[in-house]
């Protein structure tokens, strides 16, 4: 498996500095948070996008994915959501990223069936654009669809290869799923896996990998046993928890922890 980290853990840090961290601490890829407060977002022009590509190429680091904030199950008109997804897809294509991340975002004012139908309709439409651009849309296990079984229910109906899944191990755990259940549900669709650690279900402040309660060993063991050989991406949510320790001081130990888990699983 290959290792990446998300720029959610290094809010606002210039691309060159992020890449220095990746190289220094032994990560092969970076997940780019696409938000206007970050150096990389959908508002970048052609020249700026080319500069980002050149920086990644020079560093020998891959752009794992573009982490967007489109919500495919939220109530409302389809057009704004599809427009947002297309902008993310075009950014991913221009940067050479194989994936974009979207959220479910189904609201409490609609039923689960209605949220599913909305997400299915939008993903089916967006997947055609994604195929044309050579990018996959990954629906993250999150918010209204935090369980892998809920995400797979949507993706099974969509039935398009360019609509896949992103497994956030915290949310499936919070949803009460065992890693074996989560992997079985997501296996046909899985793009990559977001790892992290927290103190408890009540306190989701990010912790160093291995210092919290999330079943990372079980997740890695399940992935290894099933022969999955993709990306593990550390999503350290520093942006939302400014009191958390700085990610750069944790990166080497985090990679070493994941390596130990892989060796134990093997």
- SS3 for 67? strand
At the fourth CATH level, which superfamily is domain 2-265? Divalent-metal-dependent TIM barrel enzymes (3.20.20.150)
What would the pLDDT profile of 205-239 be if each residue is shown by its tens digit? 999 999 999 999 999 999 999 999 999 999 999 99
User: What integer pLDDT is reported at residue 147 of this predicted model?
Assistant: 98
68 φ, ψ to 5°? -95, 180
For the chain, state the CA radius of gyration: 17
User: What integer pLDDT is reported at residue 30 of this predicted model?
Assistant: 98
Buried b (16+ CB within 10 A) or exposed e, 208-220: bbbebebebebbb
What would the pLDDT profile of 134-157 be if each residue is shown by its tens digit? 999 999 999 999 999 999 999 999
- Rounded CA separation 116/110 (Å): 10
User: What integer pLDDT is reported at residue 54 of this predicted model?
Assistant: 98
CB 97 within 8 A of CB 66: yes
Domain ranges of the chain: 2-265
pLDDT-flagged residues of the chain (< 70)? none
Token pair listed for 91: 């950014």
Residue 236 makes CB contacts below 8 A (sequence gap 6+) with: 5, 6, 8, 9, 196, 206, 244, 247, 250
């Amino acid at each position: 498996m290959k290792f990446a980290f998300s720029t959610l853990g290094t809010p606002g840090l210039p691309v060159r500095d992020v890449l220095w961290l990746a190289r220094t601490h032994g990560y092969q890829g970076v997940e780019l948070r696409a938000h206007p407060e970050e150096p990389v977002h959908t508002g970048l022009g052609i020249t700026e996008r080319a500069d980002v590509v050149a920086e990644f190429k020079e560093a020998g680091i891959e752009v794992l994915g573009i982490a967007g904030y489109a919500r495919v199950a939220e109530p409302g008109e389809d057009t704004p959501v599809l427009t947002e997804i297309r902008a993310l897809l075009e950014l991913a294509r221009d940067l050479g990223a194989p994936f974009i991340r979207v959220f479910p975002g189904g609201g409490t004012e609609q039923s689960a069936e209605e949220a599913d139908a909305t997400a299915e309709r939008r993903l089916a439409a967006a997947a055609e654009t994604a195929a044309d651009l050579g990018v996959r849309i990954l629906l993250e296990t999150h918010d209204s669809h935090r369980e892998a079984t809920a995400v797979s229910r949507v993706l099974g109906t969509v039935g398009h290869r360019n609509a896949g899944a992103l497994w956030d191990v915290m949310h499936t755990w919070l949803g009460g799923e065992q890693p074996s259940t989560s992997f079985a549900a997501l296996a046909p669709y899985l793009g990559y896996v977001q790892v992290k650690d927290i103190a408890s279900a009540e306190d989701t402040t990010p912790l160093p990998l291995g210092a919290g309660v999330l079943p990372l060993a079980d997740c890695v063991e399940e992935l290894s046993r099933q022969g999955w050989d993709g990306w593990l991406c550390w999503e350290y949510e520093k942006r939302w928890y400014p009191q958390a320790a700085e990610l750069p001081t944790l990166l080497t130990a985090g990679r070493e922890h994941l390596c130990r888990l892989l060796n134990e699983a093997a």
